[in-house]
């Protein structure tokens, strides 16, 4: 991957000469590229030329604090100083900081912590306003990519509905009061050894937090320190405990794998290493490199990973466990894998699935240590243990798997914790409760009346991002700082540590978890910055300027070198697994099963208020602004349900009403429902207040957190409402998103898809493109997993408005890039094919000749350009666009944007007014910035380093962007690839975006019959 931010070639930052350490060769703190960070002399020269003497000179005597203040640009130190010290206020630039040039963005490395583990980020900041989140190419869990959630972080940052200021039972208090009171209370609690002190924390791999907790545990031996997450990784840890005797995190090298069996594991989008594993998986799917792995997915609902399966084994969620055991038995019996002898007797009597079981087991055995079995977090520990046992026996545990010590607290973090807390609190045994976990009252399972219990706690402290259900019941509500406002540290699964540095001063006096915990750890006088830095100073064993230097380097790179943990050796305790397998009592699943899913966009509900994620179409259902009860076509038919009918779902005596969505490929007799919905959309923009979706937590039981049978479905009066941006799931036999099997492709390779590529007959000679740069894009459908990160990245980069549910229902969503999803095959067993679709920049663009006012024209570099100022809004171009990628501002979507949200706009991209057409520009602003920089440096544009926002964010590098005239570039190579084709080639539009056909590698044993 080319360097991340080369397109922002700023002048190289001169490190302020520091006493004693001044001199050449020092590295900049804020960097745009690794070259720059490494101090490429060429870039340095370029920078010197660009800025006249004096302009780029740094201020003399700039100390560390001053630098950090400037690095956050809005003086992040003021945030950590909070109320304990006089705040360091941000002033307009009297002297312009050396690393901030108005109009030129900076990029800073930081990290965020989905599911407790680190994912490295590089955030673009314009004069102190973070505007765009990218992945950190140097971070092992990111490799330069992010998921859709990270792309939407900015929406939460600039959300005006966040909690503002510290409150005690609704009355504003200062943070100082909080600290004083808690210090006092901690002193009193100390006497009783912490009896009555509960901490309910968000899972986190922060070493500093761990140290604080250790201190708290020492100080209060009887305190309860628990982590809680509604979508906890308990099953992973418990499964490892079962197999290895201790909780471990598993990291799989999918690029080496030949056969993967996923047991309900959506490993391409879920899990702390998903971004990297997705890329590695993609690397195992390159037919031109001779590598084609085969993926089996046993699952009930259609997940993103299921969308990429060669064979999707559709079954009820509870049957996945049975399937795992059947494969185990088959491998032990028919293939005699060493170490599995004791499972030979395992016979489940499952005639319907015997063919699949045989085929999968055979394939796994054939590929030995290059086949791997992975289990999903929703599956019980036994499935994980079986997966571990299988990997051990196949040998892949040695070859493909690395096991790590969990960075997060591996204790139980699921619903049982809440039950205990509720019991203790109701009994009056909790005096002080500190909650930093995300909204446990809302996510609590049925039967746990946490709200009332919380109200009974005299000193309940809740670090709240929003005024949610938990905040309503807590005595103290502290405003939580956004991750982009926080100081902290975190670790990736492989142990790599990163410092989280703030991009901006907390907008609403936000506090971090460390702030909240500090009084209990006896460090109330230390702000998080000092805590983090102090911790790492002690670990580095250095002090003074030498450490400052190292520290600055860590901040610049975004990771702390040398912190990767070695993989742990572990052997599967087959006996324990056997005992567990023997304990498996298959009770036949009765009737319909309720299947609860983690929210793809809202996660556990914490991103519910994020408008970008709300509007983003779900990769499979294409639903926006809500969830629905997902059913298979056959089950819907059996229950006589039509799409958009309203059903009453009754489970163990409780019920809710949900709209019906018929999803092809869904398991029969199962109703899937995403968690995290059904709250009130409170903001005024862009949706009027209303309940969006249904709250599946109302059916969630602690003993059945994910799925269980016994669901009753009954049709009720009325229509369910949902907004979907794709009504038609079939391609109707048209050649749009193409998919072929590996064998077919190999057979037809020389003239593969000849009818969809090459020149088309024209009456006139086509224009000769002579300019040195010919911009083009290539989308490899074989690499695209359909996760949708590109869609949100495009929205963030190009200031694309959110239009709201009603407008989506009307078909007026504004996405410049959409990810189309087509199903192929029967509605019961379809293949799903995602296809990112954006302006194709046709060389013979149909939109151009119909525009009456020359508002859309072609550049000699092959761009189809849209001139907003000239557009009068006839919409003729959209009619004539066969790809329908043009978007029209039917209404003025701008007045709904709050002043705060405007800070997140990309200043390089025009905000469009009502009545004009807009569409993908191939990120022309990035091209032009690169051109300006190149012109200044008198060098050609480095087309390899130039990336569109979608290409940059793509975890699997499915989208590439560049110039066709750079013959060796990836995009040019892909345009020559035998798999490439043009969508709607026969229309003669000659698109600049090439698609590469998707290749499946089915198992011949399962193909026929």
Residue 870 as a binder of another protein (CB under 8 A): the answer is yes
Q: Which CB, 458 or 811, lies closer to another protein?
A: 811
Residue 685 as a binder of another protein (CB under 8 A): the answer is no
β-pair partners for 707: 595
Residue 889 as a binder of another protein (CB under 8 A): the answer is yes
Task: Tell which positions 896-915 bind another protein, by CB under 8 A.
Answer: 913-915
Q: Which of 995, 941, 982 is nearest to 842 (CA)?
A: 982
Q: Which CB, 576 or 857, lies closer to another protein?
A: 857
Q: Which CB, 229 or 887, lies closer to another protein?
A: 887
Q: Is the peptide bond before 686 cis (omega within 30 degrees of 0)?
A: yes
Q: How far is CA 762 from its chain centroid?
A: 45
* DSSP letter string, 410-472: -S--SHHHHHHHHHHHHTT--SEEEE-SS-HHHHPPBT--HHHHHHH-TEEEEEESBS-HHHH
Pick from 522, 643, 846, 907 the residue near another protein by CB under 8 A: 846
Distance in angstroms (rounded) separating the CA atoms of residues 959 and 991:
15
Q: Strand, helix or coil at 201?
A: strand
β-pair partners for 681: 690
Minimum Å gap between C-beta 811 and another protein is 3
Residue 616 as a binder of another protein (CB under 8 A): the answer is no
Residue 308 in tokens: 């990429």
Minimum Å gap between C-beta 657 and another protein is 24
Pick from 680, 744, 849, 1007 the residue near another protein by CB under 8 A: 849
Residue 425 in tokens: 């609190």
Residue 884 as a binder of another protein (CB under 8 A): the answer is yes
Contact 200, 440 (CB under 8 A): yes
Residue 727 as a binder of another protein (CB under 8 A): the answer is yes
Residue 786 in tokens: 């359909």
Contact 68, 97 (CB under 8 A): no
Residues 6+ apart with CB under 8 A from 246: 240, 570
Contact 801, 904 (CB under 8 A): no
Pick from 750, 759, 852, 1009 the residue near another protein by CB under 8 A: 852
Residue 641 as a binder of another protein (CB under 8 A): the answer is no
- State the helix-helix crossing angle for 528-540 and 207-219, rounded to 10 degrees: 100
Residue 93 as a binder of another protein (CB under 8 A): the answer is no
Residues 6+ apart with CB under 8 A from 101: 10, 11
Distance in angstroms (rounded) separating the CA atoms of residues 141 and 150:
13
DSSP class of 987: G
Minimum Å gap between C-beta 825 and another protein is 15
Q: Strand, helix or coil at 573?
A: coil
Q: Which CB, 916 or 996, lies closer to another protein?
A: 916
Pick from 296, 888, 905, 922 the residue near another protein by CB under 8 A: 888
Beta strands in 304-397 (DSSP E): 311-314, 371-375
Residue 887 as a binder of another protein (CB under 8 A): the answer is yes
Task: Tell which positions 975-994 bind another protein, by CB under 8 A.
Answer: 983-984, 987
Q: Which CB, 336 or 825, lies closer to another protein?
A: 825
Q: How far is CA 444 from its chain centroid?
A: 24
Contact stretch for another protein (CB under 8 A) within 380-388, 559-567, 876-884, 922-930:
876-884
Distance in angstroms (rounded) separating the CA atoms of residues 560 and 68:
18
Distance in angstroms (rounded) separating the CA atoms of residues 974 and 994:
8
Question: To 5 degrees, how large is the angle CA 836–CA 839–CA 841?
Answer: 125
Q: Which of 1006, 1003, 810 is nearest to 258 (CA)?
A: 1003
Q: Which CB, 320 or 877, lies closer to another protein?
A: 877
Q: Which CB, 533 or 919, lies closer to another protein?
A: 919
Residue 826 as a binder of another protein (CB under 8 A): the answer is no
Pick from 455, 878, 898, 1003 the residue near another protein by CB under 8 A: 878
Contact stretch for another protein (CB under 8 A) within 78-86, 526-534, 678-686, 848-856:
848-856
Residue 308 as a binder of another protein (CB under 8 A): the answer is no
Minimum Å gap between C-beta 913 and another protein is 8
Dihedral sign (CA 272, 273, 278, 279): positive
Pick from 587, 732, 938, 967 the residue near another protein by CB under 8 A: 732
Pick from 544, 682, 811, 940 the residue near another protein by CB under 8 A: 811
Residue 34 as a binder of another protein (CB under 8 A): the answer is no
Contact 764, 990 (CB under 8 A): no
Minimum Å gap between C-beta 836 and another protein is 11
Residue 883 as a binder of another protein (CB under 8 A): the answer is yes
Q: Which CB, 403 or 736, lies closer to another protein?
A: 736
Pick from 104, 424, 565, 736 the residue near another protein by CB under 8 A: 736
Residue 734 as a binder of another protein (CB under 8 A): the answer is yes
Q: Which CB, 358 or 875, lies closer to another protein?
A: 875
Minimum Å gap between C-beta 855 and another protein is 8
Pick from 537, 553, 880, 898 the residue near another protein by CB under 8 A: 880
Q: Which of 887, 870, 868 is nearest to 878 (CA)?
A: 887
Residue 825 as a binder of another protein (CB under 8 A): the answer is no
Residue 186 as a binder of another protein (CB under 8 A): the answer is no
Contact 482, 606 (CB under 8 A): no
Helices of type H across 587-649: 611-615, 633-638
Residue 810 as a binder of another protein (CB under 8 A): the answer is yes
Pick from 365, 504, 817, 871 the residue near another protein by CB under 8 A: 871
Please report, for residues 518, 703, 721, 920, the alpha-carbon distance to residue 909 in angstroms, rounded to integers and kept in the order given.
43, 50, 35, 12
Q: Which CB, 395 or 882, lies closer to another protein?
A: 882
Pick from 892, 935, 939, 976 the residue near another protein by CB under 8 A: 892
Residues 6+ apart with CB under 8 A from 762: 844, 988
- Site size with another protein, rule: CB under 8 A: 54
Residue 891 as a binder of another protein (CB under 8 A): the answer is yes
Residue 879 as a binder of another protein (CB under 8 A): the answer is yes
* DSSP letter string, 137-155: TTSTTTTT---HHHHTHHH
Distance in angstroms (rounded) separating the CA atoms of residues 765 and 570:
68
311-314 and 294-299 beta bridge pairing: parallel
Minimum Å gap between C-beta 848 and another protein is 8
Residue 264 in tokens: 């309900």
Pick from 733, 759, 770, 1004 the residue near another protein by CB under 8 A: 733
Q: Which CB, 424 or 844, lies closer to another protein?
A: 844
Residue 80 as a binder of another protein (CB under 8 A): the answer is no
Residue 996 as a binder of another protein (CB under 8 A): the answer is no
Q: Which CB, 534 or 882, lies closer to another protein?
A: 882
Count Cβ neighbours within 10 Å for each residue of 436-450 and write b for 16 or more, e otherwise: bbbbbbbbbbbebeb
Distance in angstroms (rounded) separating the CA atoms of residues 528 and 242:
37
Residue 260 in tokens: 């993967």
Residue 917 as a binder of another protein (CB under 8 A): the answer is yes
Q: Which CB, 507 or 838, lies closer to another protein?
A: 838
Pick from 820, 908, 942, 970 the residue near another protein by CB under 8 A: 820
Residue 851 as a binder of another protein (CB under 8 A): the answer is yes
Contact stretch for another protein (CB under 8 A) within 47-55, 157-165, 521-529, 872-880:
872-880
Q: Which CB, 742 or 913, lies closer to another protein?
A: 913
- Point out which residues bind another protein (CB under 8 A): 726-734, 736, 807, 810-812, 818, 820-822, 837, 846, 849-854, 870-876, 878-880, 882-884, 886-892, 913-917, 983-984, 987
């Amino acid at each position: 991957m080319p360097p991340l931010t080369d397109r922002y070639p700023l002048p190289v930052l001169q490190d302020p000469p520091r006493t004693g350490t001044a001199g050449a060769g020092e590295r900049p703190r804020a960097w745009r590229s690794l070259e720059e960070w490494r101090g490429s002399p060429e870039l340095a020269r370029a920078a010197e030329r660009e800025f006249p003497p004096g302009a780029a000179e740094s201020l003399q005597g700039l100390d560390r604090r001053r630098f950090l203040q400037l690095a956050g640009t809005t003086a992040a130190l003021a945030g950590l100083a909070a109320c304990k010290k006089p705040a360091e206020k941000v002033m307009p630039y009297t002297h312009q900081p050396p690393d901030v040039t108005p109009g030129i963005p900076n990029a800073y490395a930081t990290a965020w912590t989905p599911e407790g583990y680190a994912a490295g980020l590089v955030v673009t900041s314009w004069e102190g306003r973070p505007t765009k989140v990218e992945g950190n190419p140097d971070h092992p869990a990111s490799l330069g990519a992010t998921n859709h959630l990270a792309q939407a972080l900015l929406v939460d940052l600039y959300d005006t509905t966040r909690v503002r200021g510290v409150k005690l039972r609704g009355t504003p208090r200062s943070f100082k009061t909080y600290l004083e009171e808690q210090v006092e209370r901690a002193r009193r609690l100390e006497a009783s050894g912490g009896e009555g002190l509960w901490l309910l924390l968000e899972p986190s791999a922060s070493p500093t937090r761990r140290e604080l907790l250790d201190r708290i545990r020492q100080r209060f031996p009887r305190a309860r320190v628990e982590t809680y997450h509604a979508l906890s990784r308990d099953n992973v840890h418990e499964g490892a405990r079962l197999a290895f005797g201790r909780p471990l995190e598993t990291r799989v090298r999918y690029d080496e794998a030949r056969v993967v069996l996923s047991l309900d594991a959506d490993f391409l989008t879920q899990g702390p290493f998903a971004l990297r594993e997705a890329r590695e998986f993609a690397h195992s799917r390159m037919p031109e490199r001779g590598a084609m792995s085969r993926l089996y997915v046993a699952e009930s609902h259609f997940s993103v990973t299921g969308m990429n399966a060669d064979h999707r084994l559709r079954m009820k969620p509870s049957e996945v466990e049975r399937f795992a055991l059947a494969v185990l038995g088959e491998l032990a019996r028919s293939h005699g894998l060493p170490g599995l002898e004791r499972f030979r007797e395992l016979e489940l009597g499952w005639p319907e699935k015997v063919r699949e079981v045989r085929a999968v087991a055979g394939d796994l055995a054939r590929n030995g240590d290059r086949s791997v079995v992975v289990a999903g977090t929703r599956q019980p520990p036994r499935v994980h243990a079986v997966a571990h046992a299988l990997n051990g026996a196949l040998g892949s545990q040695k070859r493909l798997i690395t096991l790590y010590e969990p960075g997060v607290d591996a204790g139980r973090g699921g619903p049982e914790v809440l039950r205990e807390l509720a019991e203790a609190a109701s009994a009056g045994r909790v005096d002080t409760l500190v909650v930093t976990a995300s909204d446990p009252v809302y996510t609590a399972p049925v039967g746990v009346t946490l709200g009332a219990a919380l109200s009974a706690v005299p000193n309940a402290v809740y670090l709240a991002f929003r005024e949610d259900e938990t905040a309503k019941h807590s005595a103290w509500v502290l405003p939580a700082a956004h991750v982009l406002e926080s100081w902290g540290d975190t670790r990736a699964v492989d142990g790599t540590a990163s410092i989280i540095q703030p991009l901006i001063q907390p907008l609403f006096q936000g506090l971090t978890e460390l702030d909240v915990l500090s009084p209990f750890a006896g460090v109330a006088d230390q702000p998080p910055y000092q805590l983090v830095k102090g911790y790492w100073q002690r670990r580095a064993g250095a002090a003074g300027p030498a450490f400052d230097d190292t520290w600055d380097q860590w901040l610049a790179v975004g990771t702390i070198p040398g912190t990767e943990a070695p993989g742990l050796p572990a052997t599967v305790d087959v006996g324990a697994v056997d005992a567990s397998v023997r304990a498996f009592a298959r009770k036949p699943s009765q009737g319909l099963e309720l299947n609860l899913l983690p929210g793809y966009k809202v996660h556990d509900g914490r991103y519910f208020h994020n408008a970008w994620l709300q509007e983003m179409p779900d990769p499979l259902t294409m639903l926006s602004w809500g969830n629905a009860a997902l059913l298979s076509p056959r089950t819907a038919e059996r229950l006589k349900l039509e799409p958009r009918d309203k059903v009453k779902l009754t489970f163990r005596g409780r019920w809710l009403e949900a709209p019906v969505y018929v999803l092809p490929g869904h398991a029969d007799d199962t109703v899937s429902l995403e968690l995290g919905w059904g709250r009130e959309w409170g903001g005024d923009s862009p949706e009027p207040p209303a309940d969006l979706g249904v709250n599946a937590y109302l059916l969630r039981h602690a003993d059945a957190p994910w799925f269980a049978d016994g669901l009753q479905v009954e049709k009720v009066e009325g229509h369910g409402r949902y907004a979907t941006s794709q009504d038609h799931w079939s391609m109707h036999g048209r050649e749009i998103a193409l998919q072929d099997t590996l064998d077919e492709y190999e057979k037809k390779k020389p003239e593969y898809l000849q009818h969809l590529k090459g020149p088309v007959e024209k009456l006139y000679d086509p224009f000769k493109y002579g300019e040195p740069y010919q911009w083009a894009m290539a989308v490899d459908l074989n690499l695209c997993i359909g996760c949708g990160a590109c869609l949100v990245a495009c929205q963030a980069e190009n200031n694309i408005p959110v239009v709201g549910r009603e407008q989506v229902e009307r078909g007026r969503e504004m996405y410049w890039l959409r990810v189309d999803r087509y199903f192929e095959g029967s509605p019961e067993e379809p293949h799903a094919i995602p296809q990112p679709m954006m302006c194709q920049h046709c060389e013979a663009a149909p939109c151009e000749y119909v525009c009456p006012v020359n508002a859309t024209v072609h550049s000699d570099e092959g761009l189809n350009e849209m001139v907003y100022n000239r557009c009068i809004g006839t919409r003729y171009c959209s009619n004539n666009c066969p790809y329908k990628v043009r978007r029209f501002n039917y209404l003025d979507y701008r007045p709904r944007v709050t002043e705060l949200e405007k800070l997140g706009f990309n200043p390089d991209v025009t905000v469009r007014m009502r009545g004009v057409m807009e569409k993908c520009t191939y990120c022309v602003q990035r091209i032009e910035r690169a051109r300006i920089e190149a012109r200044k440096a008198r060098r050609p544009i480095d087309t390899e380093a130039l990336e569109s926002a979608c290409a940059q964010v793509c975890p699997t590098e499915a989208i590439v962007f560049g110039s066709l005239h750079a013959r060796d570039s990836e995009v040019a190579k892909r345009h020559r690839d035998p798999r490439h084709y043009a969508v709607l080639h026969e229309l003669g539009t000659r698109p600049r975006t090439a698609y590469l056909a998707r290749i499946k590698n089915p198992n011949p044993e399962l193909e026929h019959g």
